[in-house]
Chain A
Amino acid sequence: MSLVRVVGTHQMYQKMHQQGLSLIEVLLSLGLSSVMFLVLFTAQTHSQKVLVYSHQLHYANGLLGQLAAQVWAYPHHYQNLINTSLTLDLGCLKGNQCNGADMTQAWATHWQQSLLHHLPGGAFNLQCNGACTQGNRLTIGLTWTQKLAVADDKCEKGVACIHLDIAL
């Protein structure tokens, strides 16, 4: 390309743009900025959701640890620990002397109240590999609704679940 031609092209470009930006240029740059803001906003929103999920997992782990401690404490009544059909007053956890059945029911009520605050649609589940007898394994699970949770062999998509195995 000759020097004269390059200078000519440059002058033509300058002439075309000496009047400022055209409407289409302004609109295009605005559109591009909007897309960038939208991407930024979406990324941040998603990151916030992940943060909430992480907090839920942290809480659920702590809760499962407490449940496991009570399973060991009441080997004959641990099924009551997840029974939410009966609501008991929490006197058993505040100094009253109670039997094993009432005590486990009080724990179930206590956790249920806590679950409602922290984990949407939260529920415990207990499952034994075979009969729930000595020598077998008991799996304590906790599930709750969480859109970010992915499906695996034990949980469907949209439901977060964690579990803990205990030797009976």
Chain B
Amino acid sequence: MILLVGATLVALQAPAQGIDPRLERLDSITRPIVTALVDSARGAALPTEPLVQRALEGATKRAPADRIVAAVRRLAIDLGHARDALGPTASPTELGAAAAALRAGAHPATLTELRRIRRESLTVPLAVLTDLVGSGVPVDSAAAAVLSLAAKTRDADLVEFRRAVERDIALGAPPASATAAAAAVTAEATAVQVNAGARQQRPGRP
């Protein structure tokens, strides 16, 4: 309650830069506080859309005002930590995925290493990392697997790797073992394609 009052005082003092019309769905107590948090994030050059969406999620789920405010504030902090790990050039979607990965327990050093080794977008590798941890894979095992694949694996193959891990866990495999095994075969898939292509015909070749 004290937190809510304090946040309200801050909101009343901080000039709003224009209220997102979607936030009209929030009640009169929550709206100015969330608006102030969004403005503050904008001032810090953090993406604001995830914050707005988190507030809207709380509104749809009819969450109490203090929980909505706490959720938006926590996400703003996570986005800041994500940018510290990925650097200032990270895209908003990468920051959102990184924030989710950090919240799931990934180490900031893992995110920094991902940035270093992968040229393409980190959104899918980070999402896969978050999914693996959410499926019960130990954080270190999940991070090791994603890092081993991130440099050379396409987004679609990373998604397929995650599905393979999920299937194996559902079939009873220990999460860490399932992850290591799936990462190993994903990395080897190219070799099979090269060999099996020996007599592959082009489509439509008469």
B is bound to A: no
Chain B residues close to A by CB (< 8 Å): none
